[in-house]
Structure 1
Amino acid sequence: MNSQRHPIPKGKKRPQLPNVDGVLLIDKGPDMTSHDVVAIARRALNQKKIGHCGTLDPMATGLLILLLGKATKLQDLLMAEHKVYEATMTLGATTDSQDKEGEIVEERPVPPLTLDDVTAAFDKYNGDFYQTPPMVSAIKKDGVPLYKLARKGKTVEREPRFVRVLKYAIRRFESPEIDFAVACSKGFYVRTYAHDIGQELECGAHLSALRRTRSGKFSVDHEKVVTAEELKTANRESLAGRILSLAEVSLMRGA
């Protein structure tokens, strides 16, 4: 008797569960994009409606705010808040991306600088001023992101943007490296900040490390922060207790 084979059924898609509403604080690791983190969270939470506040470059680490469900309506509000970064700049070399990920375009000797020299350069970029965004950025020119034009070797004129440095601190100066912290406004490019200070010091510089530690009322040290590695292995149930509810977010912001 001939037996008929039946194909093995393919794995079924998980049923779409009701959206979770709230904020998930992530400590992003290096070598991953903000989009990567959102994709991992979508799988872990089995949820499509997820956004984020403030893109972090792949080389950057630290606080990335994920907005879940109804919390996505808070995106513009939360993105407008001030950010705090810890960073390192390296003197003597400028790159096409203004950070260590780019190609070196110029090298210059680093003069025998003092801490007073470095402080004076930082003081020039304190308070309110205009900053020209880098070519390697997501800002669009005629609908095309600048970084796509930069990949083709093109450079276009960029409109300077009004930005603000609320305060800065030089943590360490051991030439050619400067560790610093900066509290800044929305739309601020820390790598452009490092580049411009390098120009002021007449030797050039690029950003060699970057970590976001705070955005508005949210800190990377918050007890409910989830690391990127934890997110990769987490499931919806284990993440439930780490999600800040809309009520908690409102209370934290004093709203």
Structure 2
Amino acid sequence: MKSDDSINGVLLVDKGQDMTSHDVVAVARRCLDMKKIGHCGTLDPMATGMLILVLGSATRIQDLLMSEDKEYTGTLKLGETTNSQDAEGEVLLKRPVPEDLTLEQVKAAFDTLKGDFYQTPPMVSAVKINGVPLYKLARKGQEVEREPRFVRVYDYEITRFEPPYVDFRVVCSKGFYVRSYANDIGEKLGCGGHLSALRRTRSGHFKLLPGKHVTFDMLKGGQKEQVLTSILSLYDVSKLRGA
């Protein structure tokens, strides 16, 4: 593929379900006829929403954009623990959800995971141990000790409480696993739980806004001219970030 070296900037993609972040990058490369594309923060195949792509010379600010806080909306399903901590995994344990569970008790569990704390990454993740991604070990049925990571929850909101489901919004730091968050809250409530839906609505200063982002279908359909009009220049990015 002959690379188009004239394209530089940031592209906001509304990622759909059942695709990896790498899939999005691969399709963007074909659509734009260029090789130098990276993404700023992996989204699991189940997750949807904001995926920032950096194009051309914008790849030099990839680490900077990845380091910023994120905002998600998600759904916690209580009563079932899975090996991946989300709905795509195998159910390991089922426990009854207390019939008298109250919203106040759920809020109390969420409150324990607000602010600064250490979080243990899930086994089904891209975190590497001795150079090997954890998910590869998990596929072999292996479970190894993982070093907890320092993370931060800036804010959260419970938007729906209809047991066994709890909808929530969370604002968190880089490196935060919402799957582990859901799993840990389920354990604090004594019935277990897993993440059944997830959408990233913001990454740093970037939000998904009409006319400012593209979809996977637009990239896959080769709508290059329309995609090009959605690319933010490095100057636009600098102004948005107040730099």
* TM-score interval, smaller chain: over 0.9
CA contact (8 A) 2:85 2:194 kept: yes
Q: Deviations over 1:201-241 (max 9, x none)?
A: 00000000000000000002253110111221133322211
Instruction: Give the Cα separation in 1 of the matches to 2:157 and 2:53.
Output: 28
- Cα displacement (A) at 1:16: 3.3
- Scaled by the length of structure 2, the TM-score of the pair is 0.98
Match of 1:8 in 2: none
Pick one of 104, 110, 116 that aligns with 1:122.
110
CA contact (8 A) 1:19 1:68 kept: no
Pick one of 75, 80, 84 that aligns with 1:88.
75
Structure 2 residue matching 1:105: 3-state secondary structure: strand
Match of 2:19 in 1: 32
Residues 1:197 and 2:174 aligned together: no
Match of 2:137 in 1: 149
Match of 1:206 in 2: 194
Structure 1 residue matching 2:195: 3-state secondary structure: strand
Instruction: Give the Cα separation in 1 of the matches to 2:35 and 2:110.
Output: 43
- Runs of 5+ in structure 2 lacking a partner? none
Q: How many residue pairs align between the two structures?
A: 242
Pick one of 30, 53, 58 that aligns with 1:43.
30
Match of 1:73 in 2: 60
Structure 1 residue matching 2:187: 3-state secondary structure: helix
* Percent of residue pairs identical: 66
Structure 1 runs of 4+ with >4 Å offset: none
Distance 1:244-1:96 versus aligned 2 partners, 3 A rule = same
CA contact (8 A) 1:19 1:49 kept: no
Match of 1:5 in 2: none
Instruction: Give the Cα separation in 2 of the matches to 1:148 and 1:202.
Output: 30
Q: Deviations over 1:24-72 (max 9, x none)?
A: 0000000000000000000000000000000000000000000000100
Instruction: Give the Cα separation in 2 of the matches to 1:249 and 1:185.
Output: 20
Structure 1 residue matching 2:81: 3-state secondary structure: strand
Match of 1:101 in 2: 88
Match of 1:185 in 2: 173
Structure 1 residue matching 2:57: 3-state secondary structure: helix
Pick one of 102, 119, 124 that aligns with 1:136.
124
CA contact (8 A) 2:152 2:172 kept: yes
Amino acid at match of 2:30: R
| Root mean square deviation, CA, Å | 1.0
Instruction: Give the Cα separation in 2 of the matches to 1:192 and 1:129.
Output: 13
Instruction: Give the Cα separation in 2 of the matches to 1:163 and 1:64.
Output: 21
- Runs of 5+ in structure 1 lacking a partner? 1-12
Pick one of 236, 239, 244 that aligns with 2:224.
236
CA contact (8 A) 2:84 2:90 kept: yes
Amino acid at match of 1:82: D
- Cα displacement (A) at 1:152: 0.2
Q: Deviations over 1:168-197 (max 9, x none)?
A: 000000000000000000000001000000
Match of 1:158 in 2: 146
Q: Deviations over 1:75-134 (max 9, x none)?
A: 110000000000001000000000000000010000120000000000000000000000
Amino acid at match of 1:103: E
